[in-house]
């Protein structure tokens, strides 16, 4: 595995943690977030675990549903 692969995995893990934390802070279920974004609940679950390579469009839909700026999904201090 290359250094770039590790960096990508770290980014996906960070996004997943931020999505899960923000979703829970808003009192949303995975099903509700899925309905708001048009992304299936199973994929939301996989995103939260850092197991999905997201597109920018998917990240934007999630950020909008969570009422945060897209760049916060990548913020390790969020």
pLDDT digit string, tens, across residues 4-46:
788 889 999 999 999 999 999 999 999 999 999 999 999 999 9
Please, are residues 68 and 26 in contact by the beta-carbon 8 Å criterion? no
pLDDT at 17: 97
Q: At what angle do helices 56-65 and 30-37 cross, to 10 degrees?
A: 120
pLDDT digit string, tens, across residues 54-78:
999 999 999 999 999 999 999 987 7
pTM attached to this predicted model:
0.92
Please, are residues 33 and 23 in contact by the beta-carbon 8 Å criterion? yes
| Token code pair at residue 56 | 């920018």
pLDDT at 12: 95
Q: Which residues contact 20 (CB under 8 A, 6 or more apart)?
A: 48
| Token code pair at residue 26 | 């808003």
pLDDT at 14: 95
């Amino acid at each position: 595995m290359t250094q770039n692969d590790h960096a990508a995995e770290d980014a996906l893990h960070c996004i997943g943690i931020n999505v899960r934390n923000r979703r829970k802070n808003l009192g949303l279920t995975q099903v509700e977030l899925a309905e708001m974004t048009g992304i299936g609940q199973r994929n939301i679950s996989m995103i939260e675990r850092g197991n999905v390579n997201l597109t920018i469009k998917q990240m934007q839909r999630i950020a909008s549903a969570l009422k945060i700026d897209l760049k916060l999904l990548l913020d390790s201090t969020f």
